[in-house]
Amino acid sequence: MKKVLSVAMASAMVLGMGANAFAIQYSTGSNDKAAWPKGGLQFDGSLFVTDKNGDIITQATTEINNNEAVDFQPGDVIWMPLYAEDQLVWTATVTPGKEEQMAVDSIKIVADDYFTDASGVVIKAKLTDSTKDGTEGWDTDIEAAWNDSDCVAYSPAGVEFGWGSLPNYKSKENEGKVFTFVKKGVQAKFTAPREVEVNGTNRTISTIRVTVNGRTFSGKPETVEVKVNDYLKTVTAKEKNTEYFKSVSFEGVANVEKVNGTDTTVKKPHVNNTDGVVTAYGHYTGKIDKNWSINLIEKSTGVADLIEKAELYKATATDYASYSKYTDEIMPKAVYLKITLKKEWKTVSNETLKYYVYIANNKNNGDKTNEVWVSGKYAPTYRTVDFTWTNNANEAGLWKAEENGVAVFDFADKAFFTVKMYKGETMYLDLSTAYDKVVAGEMDVEADSFYKFDNTNASFARTGELVIVSDDDTLVPYEIDEDGNFVAVDAEYVKDYAIAHTNSKVNGFVFKTNQLGNYVLATEELGEEEAEVEETEEEAPAPVVDEKPAETAKPNPNTGAEDFVGLAVSLAVVSVAAAGALALKK
């Protein structure tokens, strides 16, 4: 989860420094020629921020002179728009793409939403006592079918009579006989659905299948609707000249077809006539001159060089298509100062990101933008150390322990590190197993594999157990120290080493350390350099000439200089030989 960083911008500041006072001067990289805009060029409007994936961080849009809470993280890009007078206004027509939608079958049709049941009622009842009034004296309750003027009845002889005529037929001779009571209603009706909601999205129905009274109809919604309603007419029951409608059973399902996805398309930018082609003041859309420069100094605290690069950038139609629905500050062909932050910050503490910047014309000292600054707090995003399960350290990242316990880090099954950690411990962890040809070339034996841990801020409070996974017990592990020396590792080769918190067992080299370093597995032990002894040919002794030395007035004293030189040479040879015996071969 991204941490909050407050950003403030201020314009028209007097920084008290010229271009040469800034630490970095970036070239625009342009080969174009362009005049400095009449009326000047300046930062204005609102900056916006995109992350390392190019997605806009909507809550990070910040107006000049405003203090806003935004989400900055490594790899973010800060877009700072430039404004000028009398600028062309460009736009581009964007047709949004659609994601692919999978086919879905047998989506239930809710009967209450699309089917109206028939409302007619038919009751057959035997007259048991003709002396009772109204609806009494029957073996069945006839209230449901005999309660209003739209009801009719049929006597045992088939004579139809209406509401209010019942007493005329309740006679002694009709006792024990069956009457039919009918409440006329409306025909059942089906309205086929055309759309159905799938995962929050309305989808067009391709086909439906419904069953009425056990009879099934299937096809396109509009076709099935007609067929079902025609069938419902045929189930109408008739008694003499009066119709009534039976209730029917109903169930149904709908199907939607797969919908292929489409890409977002954007047409070539064009001048927007609705703004009168030229706006009196707006985004600068002219050329970027090759003699313009970006003058920037970074004043971040704690960790230096959080900024990767600064560039003047002309927005494309694709940029417009990506960000126009989130901000009005994006326009095709508009020029922005883009500040790209480094994609990886290994700091484990809160830091202040701050920089000062302006754009200048190197051919004319008077042509420069307003001087602005951006400042904010960076809070690292941590992954919490899990003491119950193995921690997946496949990807580089910052870790933090929120309690005490024994943690196991799994580096893509290539290495495992088990260590006791304490609440508040933080570190950056990463492992590279790329083959290092340069280091391999310095070895007098073959290098099998490399394990280079990035141990920035990763010195553990306690010594842990590192396992370098390998199925070859003939290899020899060495650590490569900061000076490039190969140091033998006191490691034990083990088989079926059980990884805590999992059922996994691995083979490899196990040793103790509290600092993850840089290791190589060699095919055999590295040898030691031997001092090279130069062979000298023995010269035949010169013949001895017995000559009497010439006499001098005063003999020279014996200084022993020749003996001193010989001693020095001997010591030097011994020293070189000793050094050669201790150095490992590279």
Beta bridge partners of 415: 411, 468
Structure token pair of residue 197: 């909601």
Of 15, 24, 64, the residue nearest 43 (C-alpha): 64
What was the pLDDT predicted at 456?
65
What is the rounded CA–CA span in Å between residue 414 and residue 468?
Answer: 6
Residue 226 has pLDDT above 90, yes or no: yes
* Close Cβ partners of 505 (under 8 Å, ≥ 6 residues apart): 496, 497, 498, 499
What was the pLDDT predicted at 120?
82
What is the rounded CA–CA span in Å between residue 522 and residue 474?
Answer: 9
**Residue type for position 563:** D
Q: Greater confidence, 151 or 459? A: 151
C-beta separation of 335 from 284 below 8 A: yes
Among the residue ranges 31-40, 170-179, 297-306, 377-386, the one predicted with the least confidence is 297-306
What is the rounded CA–CA span in Å between residue 119 and residue 184?
Answer: 8
Reported as a pLDDT band with limits 50, 70 and 90, residue 117 is: confident
Q: Mean pLDDT: which of 28-37, 343-352, 544-553 is highest?
A: 28-37
Structure token pair of residue 146: 């005999």
Of 81, 79, 74, the residue nearest 341 (C-alpha): 74
What was the pLDDT predicted at 288?
95
Q: How confident is the prediction for the chain on average, in pLDDT?
A: 81
Could you read off the pLDDT of 33-85 as tens digits, one per residue?
999 999 999 999 989 999 888 999 887 777 766 666 566 788 899 999 999 99
Residue 424 backbone phi and psi in degrees, to 5: 95, -15
Reported as a pLDDT band with limits 50, 70 and 90, residue 475 is: very high
C-beta separation of 400 from 379 below 8 A: no
Q: What is the mean pLDDT of residues 456-477?
A: 89
What was the pLDDT predicted at 241?
52
Of 252, 249, 254, the residue nearest 212 (C-alpha): 249
Could you read off the pLDDT of 359-392 as tens digits, one per residue?
999 999 889 999 988 887 777 788 999 999 999 9
3-state DSSP call for residue 166?
A: helix
Residue 217 has pLDDT above 80, yes or no: yes
* Close Cβ partners of 445 (under 8 Å, ≥ 6 residues apart): 522, 523, 524, 525, 526, 527
Burial state string for 354-392 with b = 16 or more CB within 10 A and e = fewer than 16: bbbbbbbbbeeeebbbbbbbbbbbbebebeebbbeebbe
**Residue type for position 163:** W
What was the pLDDT predicted at 492?
95
Beta bridge partners of 510: 467, 492
Reported as a pLDDT band with limits 50, 70 and 90, residue 419 is: very high
What was the pLDDT predicted at 274?
67
